[in-house]
Amino acid sequence: MDVNSSQAVLKDSRRLIILKKSKKMSKKRVKALRRKKQAIRKRNTLILHIVILALVAIAALYISSNYRLVAKEKNDKDNTPVSTEKVEFEMYVMSQCPYGVQAENGAIPALKKFGNAVDLKLYFIGQESGGQFSSLHGQPEVEEDMRQACIYEKFNDKLIPYLECINPKIANAGSEWQACAEQAGVDVDALKSCTGGEEGKNLLAASFQASTSKGVSGSPTIYVNMKPYSGARDELSFTRGICDAFSEKPAACNEIPECASDADCTDAEEGEIGKCLNPGEDNAECEYVDDARVELTVVNLASCKSCDASGLLDVLSNLFPNMDVKEVEADSEEGKALINKFGLVYAPSFIFSRGVTETNTWKTNERIQSAFEEAGDGYKLADRATGADYPISEEARQRMYDAIGVVKGDNKPQIDFFVMSYCPYGNQAEEAIEPVYQALGDSAQFNPRYVIYENYGGEDYCIEDGKYCSMHGIQELNQDVRELCVNKYYGIGKYFEFVLLANKECDYNNVDTCWEAQAEKIDGIDKERIKECQSSEAVELLEKEMELDQLLGVSGSPTVFIEGEAYSGSRQPADFQKALCDAFDSDKPDGCSVALESTEDVASGQC
């Protein structure tokens, strides 16, 4: 009740008493005053009720706010975010890739800090064709990919406990998975049902497709809220990356040090570098200082379509923020002088002044130092580090043409495709090039080549005491030889028949016993002659392949050259066809007009 209303009631009451006492007032007027007094009381009672309701509402809000405060304090203690905001954390991996496993091991403790506030999405990298799956590390990886895809879909809350158990034993996942599934609380029978039926195949195919659609080929590839993550792969770095994605930081973000490494100090101005003092400690802080100045000369060929240096220059500018760049044409007089002075072999070549040794990157990163070679009065970035493989001088280019058999002006373009017989990316290239051969026939030259290493992996990967080795083991190396033998004695047509069958029916774990059945399916191939070739000519054939690898700077499968120039286009049949047809000097054959179908799920990776 307000003050004015109270005063009015008192005033009217007094008037009523006075009138009664004086007896000068009529009964009618007394009744009127009484009615007025009752109305005022009703009105004031209503006002009082409204005031009480308001007080109740205020009290409810007070209790509610206190409840939320208590809940927040409890959540802070539990490191559980109060906000309903979710961050999406995508990982694209190969289950048996050591780098992918390393990333998972670093991410898991970070993810556990955030509970349901982070949505983990796990995808796998591989290929699927006609219901057949392949992955870089072979069939055991495909099987583990499928198990994890099933756990992700059907037992999502058990995925992290399963990964924590299986990752330290991932090399033996085939014998360890069941114990880890049981330990994680996964229904093993339901998991077996998933991996043994169409459900598992569909889940893995969808996972592979998600990676392909994203353009992912390297394990691990990570996105946080759809943005590429490029930080380190440890718990603190992942925690920092996730926290940066929240608009409202949860409690788990409260105690992150300012920096754990120099990579976290990203507010440097032009020409500065960021240094992390007391990394990872509570008193960690970033300090920004000017870096040493360095001069870089890039010697390149404008005529080389595959010699774009811009991407690498972007990387180098981040490593050496005070870098002055000069570009020189290799065929100019200045370029030829630099080629002779520094012994340059491939384009593009990167020559640094000696000031590079005074930079912060050089002083703090031994791996960076190993990418340089001392040359002349400066340092040259090693070709193996840049991936350059196009001969920089006219003389070197001619030596390469002679070695691989390219004859300029003969109107017969040539494709040389370097593969490993069981690299899935190489197999993909073979299967895309085969229809181009069917269209063009002998009007173009098709040359299969093989990527051979030295001293790689030991006796299970090599012959001749480590002289000739292959990435996926000795059975792959043996198959390389057999495929070279088929091409040598039966020609490129039979070669493609044999290779496509062996790709489909065999793998690098069984091809030594599987290949003969495939050879028997092809008219005109004598498997005994292939055996004899493998026995007596293996060293000669592999030595030639290794020489070409070294001459052309080839180390990955597939690597493709058309008329001696590195091919960097898509691995679709139509794209290989176009590149070859564009290389004809004059009249193109009818095969250039044949429409070739595109294949699905074309990856861009290499072994």
Q: What is the mean pLDDT of each run of 10 residues along the chain (607 residues)?
A: 37 35 37 42 44 41 39 44 79 94 95 95 89 84 96 96 96 94 97 95 95 89 94 89 92 87 83 88 90 95 86 92 95 93 92 95 89 93 86 84 89 95 92 96 96 87 92 94 97 96 92 95 95 96 93 88 89 94 91 85 71
Which residues are paired to 468 by β-bridges?
463
Q: How far apart are CA 36 and CA 11, in angstroms?
A: 12
CATH of span 291-392 = 3.40.30
Q: Are 30 and 20 in contact (CB under 8 A)?
A: yes
Kindly provide the b/e burial profile for residues 67-83, where b requires at least 16 CB atoms within 10 angstroms of the residue's own CB.
eeeeeeeebeeebbbee
CA angle 342, 348, 351 (to 5 degrees): 40
pTM across the whole model: 0.54
Q: Are 238 and 110 in contact (CB under 8 A)?
A: yes
Q: How far apart are CA 331 and CA 347, in angstroms?
A: 11
pLDDT of residue 221: 95
Q: How far apart are CA 380 and CA 169, in angstroms?
A: 41
Q: CA distances (Å), 48 to each of 2, 12, 13, 43, 60, in order? A: 9, 20, 20, 9, 18
Q: Are 140 and 173 in contact (CB under 8 A)?
A: yes
Q: How far apart are CA 177 and CA 169, in angstroms?
A: 9
Tokens of 369: 């130092």
Q: Which of 206, 194, 192, 197 is nearest to 128 (CA)?
A: 206
Q: Which of 125, 140, 133 is nearest to 202 (CA)?
A: 133
Q: CA distances (Å), 349 to each of 43, 268, 310, 366, 376, in order? A: 94, 29, 12, 21, 14
CATH of 395-593, one of 3.40.50.261, 3.90.550.10, 3.40.30.10, 3.40.50.980: 3.40.30.10
Residue 259 dihedral angles phi and psi, to the nearest 5°: -155, 150
Work out the angle between the directed axes of helices 139-154 and 173-184 (0-180°, nearest 10).
Answer: 10
pLDDT of residue 64: 40
Q: How far apart are CA 94 and CA 84, in angstroms?
A: 31
Q: How far apart are CA 497 and CA 518, in angstroms?
A: 9
Q: How far apart are CA 339 and CA 349, in angstroms?
A: 9
Which residues are paired to 224 by β-bridges?
89, 227
- In words, the CATH class of domain 87-253 is alpha beta
Q: Are 371 and 352 in contact (CB under 8 A)?
A: no
Q: How far apart are CA 267 and CA 265, in angstroms?
A: 6
Question: What number of other Cβ atoms are within 10 A of residue 300's Cβ?
Answer: 21
If you search the block for the tokens 């057949």, which residue do you land on? 132
